[in-house]
Amino acid sequence: MKCVRSTRVVLNDLRENGWESMLAEVHVFCEKHDIVELDVEEAYVNPKKRRKVTEITNIHHYQVDCFNDAFDWLVQELDNRFSETSTNLLVGSATLSPRDSFHDFSLENLMSLAKLYPQDFDSGELRDLDKDLRLYIADVIELVVR
């Protein structure tokens, strides 16, 4: 889940701060390949409706309507693939990992994982599980400390 969060942070950072560097790369590419560049301050002309005058500039179209929309789409796609339920499931599963001497053991995450299975845990069983997990986590921590 750290990877998903990190990816979201990087995508948001690129969306907010990546335009200038990407535009600089486009300029270098155009110069290298002898491609005529658009004047970014001119009015944008929609290739599908050339006669219709738009109220936006080329820079607005490419930065807001293309660049930012692409990042918004990527973040939305990430959110769709990792819904709150699937995120909770992954976090809860990661909590069970014995890596780093059960460093990620968390009562809250384990209880959230159990709550994802209401057919398997009724309210009484959740109370019992809470008590059992507290004892188990204390035992694991004591074993690791020794």
Percent of the chain with pLDDT over 70: 92
As a whole number, the mean pLDDT across the chain is 86
Are residues 49 and 106 part of one domain? no
Question: How many structural domains is the chain composed of?
Answer: 2
The number of beta carbons lying within 10 Å of the beta carbon of residue 130 is 13
pLDDT of residue 113: 85
Residue 89 lies in a domain: no
The number of beta carbons lying within 10 Å of the beta carbon of residue 105 is 19
Mean pLDDT of 103-126: 86
Q: Which of 134, 89, 84 is nearest to 114 (CA)?
A: 89
Between 91 and 42, residue with greater pLDDT = 42
Q: Are 99 and 134 in contact (CB under 8 A)?
A: no
What is d(CA 36, CA 26) in angstroms, rounded to the nearest whole number? Answer: 11
pLDDT tier at 111, thresholds 50, 70, 90: confident
What confidence tens digit (pLDDT) does each residue in 31-85 have? 999 999 989 899 998 888 888 878 899 999 999 999 999 999 999 998 888 877 7
Residue 53 lies in a domain: yes
User: Residue type at 146?
Assistant: R
Are residues 104 and 74 part of one domain? no
Are residues 104 and 77 part of one domain? no
What is d(CA 48, CA 119) in angstroms, rounded to the nearest whole number? Answer: 55
Between 88 and 30, residue with greater pLDDT = 30
Q: Is 99 exposed, middle or buried (0-12, 13-18, 19+ CB in 10 A)?
A: exposed
Residue 94 lies in a domain: no
Residue 95 lies in a domain: no
pLDDT of residue 24: 93
Tell me: pLDDT of 108 over 90.
no
In which domain, by residue range, is 57 found?
Answer: 2-81
* Contact residues for 55 (Cβ-Cβ < 8 A; gap 6+): 43
